[in-house]
């Protein structure tokens, strides 16, 4: 099989269980790997309804699974790679975390939901994403119809009439980046010797609020993007750093133009000569924004502040 990606739109526990329980039970009987990444309330309901079958389900905390778009994609890949046997499927019943997200995070998680259709297209996976319409903003629920090809309705599945092709959805979300702040910005040129750029990040990241145990990873992510400047971006550029109330941002600009869609969202194969750097950076960072065109390329690497 290839990917099945459904949105489960529900407004009551009964509607949730009507779709989730048969989905899980069938997977357990087939010997699939079944993950339940649901709200505390729905996790409790599943334990009650599934009875002994719950012992064969892997229950995970949504805040850990839906930690960052890049890491969540990689988590899917790792689970799929670990499937036992040619007939096994990864089944995920999940509820993406929307509470507490700001506008940028909400937009990027919507982009993630759309990109899943491409990134996991050839995978043996069935992903059912739950959206509680009684609690979520209507804009989020409406967007679920655009990012999922199919809707789960009880034990049935129907085509989403509002589904948007991922390339179109992705392009629509490439809105202009927010302006760089007028003050509080540190900068350094990017040139063939990247040691000063690495030191620049190591010096400023903790001062701006990156947790000490994440600074080395941040340096690695910035180094990967700066290396792309040398290889594909004309050889020189600039790096800037600043902090918002929630995140530390390192922005790297160059004069080159990147080609292709879903940059950094698609896992590069072991024999691929390109794409590894952006993929690595998306795993490390909490968010990654990228805009490219005839005027050049800008990549923003976001890390959550330890305290905000």
User: Which DSSP string do the residues of 115-158 spell out, in sequence order?
Assistant: HHHHHTTTSSEEEEEEEETTTS-HHHHHHHHHH-SEEEETTEEE
In whole angstroms, give the CA distance from residue 141 to residue 18.
Answer: 19
Domain count, the chain: 2
CATH code for the domain of 50: 3.40.50.300
Domain final position from 115, 140, 172: 172
The verdict on residue 177 lying in a domain is no
Q: What are phi and psi of 255, to 5 degrees?
A: -95, 0
In whole angstroms, give the CA distance from residue 304 to residue 308.
Answer: 9
Domain final position from 172, 199, 226: 172
The verdict on residue 181 lying in a domain is no
pTM of the model: 0.94
In whole angstroms, give the CA distance from residue 218 to residue 104.
Answer: 20
What's the pLDDT at 308?
52
Evaluate if residue 102 carries a pLDDT over 90.
Answer: yes
Kindly give, in sequence order, each residue whose CB lies less than 8 Å from that of residue 198, ignoring residues fewer than 6 positions away: 219, 222, 223
* Residues 130-175: tens digit of each pLDDT: 999 999 999 999 999 999 999 998 878 899 999 999 999 999 999 9
Structure tokens at 298: 């800008």
DSSP 210: B
Q: Are 137 and 273 found together in one domain?
A: no
The verdict on residue 226 lying in a domain is yes
Pairing of strands 156-159, 150-153: antiparallel
The model's confidence at residue 212, banded by pLDDT at 50, 70 and 90, is very high
What's the pLDDT at 81?
95
What's the pLDDT at 307?
67
Evaluate if residue 58 carries a pLDDT over 70.
Answer: yes
The answer to whether 189 and 180 have CB atoms below 8 angstroms apart is no
* Residues 11-56: tens digit of each pLDDT: 999 999 999 999 999 999 999 999 999 999 999 999 999 999 999 9
More confident call, 25 vs 273: 25
* Residues 163-209: tens digit of each pLDDT: 999 999 999 999 999 999 999 999 999 999 999 999 999 999 999 99
Structure tokens at 307: 């305290």
The verdict on residue 296 lying in a domain is yes
Q: Which domain holds residue 135?
A: 4-172
What's the pLDDT at 87?
84
Q: Are 168 and 197 found together in one domain?
A: no
What's the pLDDT at 273?
74
Coil, helix or strand at residue 305: strand
């Amino acid at each position: 099989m290839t990917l099945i990606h459904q949105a489960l739109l529900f407004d009551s526990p009964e509607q949730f269980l009507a779709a989730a329980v048969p989905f899980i039970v069938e997977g357990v009987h087939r010997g699939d790997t079944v993950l339940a990444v649901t709200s505390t309330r729905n996790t409790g309901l599943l334990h009650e309804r599934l009875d002994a079958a719950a012992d064969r389900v892997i229950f995970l905390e949504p805040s850990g699974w839906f930690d960052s778009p890049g890491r969540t994609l990689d988590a899917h890949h790792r689970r799929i790679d670990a499937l036992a046997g040619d007939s096994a499927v990864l089944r995920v019943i999940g509820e993406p975390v929307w509470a507490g997200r700001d506008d940028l995070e909400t937009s990027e998680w919507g982009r993630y939901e759309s990109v899943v259709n491409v990134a996991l297209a050839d995978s043996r996976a069935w992903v059912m994403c739950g959206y509680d319409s009684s609690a979520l903003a209507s804009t989020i629920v409406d967007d679920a119809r655009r990012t999922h090809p199919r809707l789960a309705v009880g034990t049935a599945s129907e085509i989403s009439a509002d589904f948007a092709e991922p390339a179109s959805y992705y392009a629509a979300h490439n809105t202009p980046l927010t302006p760089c702040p007028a003050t509080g910005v540190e900068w350094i040129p990017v040139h063939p010797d990247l040691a000063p750029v690495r030191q620049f990040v190591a010096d400023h990241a903790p001062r701006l609020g990156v947790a000490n145990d994440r600074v080395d990873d941040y340096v690695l992510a910035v180094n990967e993007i700066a290396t792309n400047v040398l290889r594909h971006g004309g050889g020189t550029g600039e790096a800037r750093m600043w902090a918002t109330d929630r995140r530390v941002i390192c922005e790297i600009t160059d004069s080159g133009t990147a080609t292709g869609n879903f940059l950094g969202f698609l896992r590069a194969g072991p024999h691929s000569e390109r794409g590894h750097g952006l993929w690595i950076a998306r795993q490390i960072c909490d968010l990654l924004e990228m805009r490219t065109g005839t005027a050049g390329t800008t990549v923003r690497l976001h890390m959550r502040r330890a305290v905000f």
